[in-house]
């Protein structure tokens, strides 16, 4: 009978220890910790952790004291029975602290790993959404500006040269078709982007006529490589927008675009003289646009060089294509 009693006593003790440990560890790791992470109150969580550890240690000591026989307590602290029980409880309380720390620390560690993974995933998704929104804003800055310039010029030509205005309108329709149906993707085939850039330059050549010398060189080996759409457009726009012409001389815009392997090298140069440059209210907007998009869409996979002298302005871009 005594052996049966000892067995059930030990069983009850183990069950109570398990219940207290699971309950308090669950409360700390699944209730307090997630709330502290969401509200960023980890200092308050540290205080709560200490309180829960002390509470669990007291519960373990109390359970051990209740299920310990009187002889064990008297042997541990001979003298008054009540006093020996108190001392025994106090001793078990301090002795249970390491176990309480281990139980709660393990539970919180596992929970923190789960919560941290969720937070990192949410942060990555928010960052991706933010970057996509930034890119969309930067990309949308191009279309209205280009449309305004070309349509305004078509309007002027309709009063003096209807045939040339008609040619310009057809060229511009190809540009709009690309912007509406092709460039709403994260990446587009290189050959489509190059065709768009050629159409854009053709429109600018038509607009300027004999006032500018325009030269372009294209050498594309693999047009199926992928590039983000409309990335280089602001550089072409800026070159024609800010080109300067000396008296009795033509201004010029020279462009070269070469692709070898997965490397794309783009260079555009325009005549530039502060005294005779064409004034513009949006000086530098297009260049800043390109800088931001390169940083977002080609981090550590691009080179950008800007060289300005008394007679010309040159921008060179290198990209690692997909």
Q: Which two tokens stand for residue 103?
A: 């139980």
Which uninterrupted H or E stretch holds 84? Answer: helix 81-140
CB-based burial label for 107 (10 Å; 0-12, 13-18, 19+): buried
d(CA 245, CA 206): 17
| Choice between 99 and 268, residue whose per-residue pLDDT is larger | 268
How many Å apart are CA 239 and CA 255, to the nearest integer?
Answer: 10
pLDDT tens digit string along 162-200? 888 888 888 888 887 887 777 777 888 999 999 989 988
pLDDT in tens, 244-262: 876 677 889 999 999 999 9
Mean pLDDT value of segment 62-87: 58
Are 241 and 296 a contacting pair, CB within 8 Å? Answer: no
The tokens for 219 are 């050498």
- pLDDT confidence band for 4 (50 / 70 / 90): very low
Q: What is the pLDDT of residue 303?
A: 94
- Distance, CA of 169 to CA of 165 (rounded, Å): 6
What confidence tier does 31 reach under pLDDT thresholds 50, 70, 90?
confident
Alpha-carbon distance values, 93 to 26, 55, 137 (Å):
21, 9, 62
Q: Between β-strands 312-320 and 263-271, what pairing exists: parallel, antiparallel or unpaired?
A: antiparallel
Local structure of 157: helix, strand or coil: helix
Most confident of 16-25, 153-162, 210-219: 210-219
What pLDDT score does 83 carry?
Answer: 47
pLDDT beyond 60 at 130: no
Residue 6's pLDDT is 56
Give, for 264, the enclosing helix (H) or strand (E). Answer: strand 263-271
pLDDT tens digits along 208-236: 878 889 999 999 999 999 998 888 988 98
Q: Tell which wins on pLDDT, 81 or 290.
A: 290
pLDDT grade, residue 5 (50/70/90)?
Answer: very low
Q: What is the pTM of this model?
A: 0.58
Tokens of 311: 């007679």
Q: How far apart are CA 12 and CA 159, in angstroms?
A: 100
pLDDT at 266 over 90: yes
Confidence of residue 143 (pLDDT cuts 50, 70, 90): low
* CA distance linking residue 99 with residue 306, whole number of Å: 65
Query: Average of pLDDT values for 264-291?
Result: 73
As beta bridge partners, residue 229 has none
């Amino acid at each position: 009978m005594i052996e049966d009693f000892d067995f059930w006593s030990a069983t009850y003790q183990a069950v109570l220890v398990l219940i207290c440990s699971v309950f308090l560890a669950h409360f700390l790791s699944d209730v307090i910790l997630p709330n502290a992470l969401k509200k960023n109150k980890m200092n308050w969580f540290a205080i709560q952790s200490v309180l829960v550890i002390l509470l669990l240690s007291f519960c373990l000591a109390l359970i051990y004291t209740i299920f310990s026989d009187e002889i064990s307590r008297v042997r541990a602290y001979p003298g008054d029975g009540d006093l020996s029980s108190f001392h025994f409880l106090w001793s078990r309380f301090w002795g249970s602290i390491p176990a309480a720390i281990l139980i709660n620390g393990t539970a919180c560690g596992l929970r923190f790993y789960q919560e941290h993974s969720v937070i990192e995933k949410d942060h990555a998704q928010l960052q991706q959404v933010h970057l996509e929104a930034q890119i969309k804003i930067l990309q949308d800055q191009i279309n209205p500006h280009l449309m305004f310039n070309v349509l305004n010029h078509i309007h002027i030509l309709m009063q003096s040269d209807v045939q040339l205005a008609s040619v310009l309108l057809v060229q511009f329709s190809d540009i709009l078709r690309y912007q509406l149906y092709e460039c709403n993707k994260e990446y587009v085939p290189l050959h489509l982007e190059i065709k768009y850039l050629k159409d854009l330059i053709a429109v600018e050549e038509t607009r300027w006529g004999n006032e500018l010398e325009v030269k372009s060189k294209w050498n594309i080996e693999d047009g199926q490589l992928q590039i983000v759409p409309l990335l280089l457009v602001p550089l072409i726009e800026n070159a024609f927008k800010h080109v300067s012409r000396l008296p009795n001389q033509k201004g010029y815009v020279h462009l070269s675009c070469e692709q070898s392997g997965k490397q794309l090298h783009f260079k555009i140069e325009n005549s530039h003289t502060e005294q005779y440059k064409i004034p513009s209210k949006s000086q530098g907007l297009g260049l800043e646009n390109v800088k931001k998009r390169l940083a977002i869409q080609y981090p550590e996979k691009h080179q950008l060089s800007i060289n300005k002298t008394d007679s010309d302005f040159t921008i060179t871009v290198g990209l690692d294509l997909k």
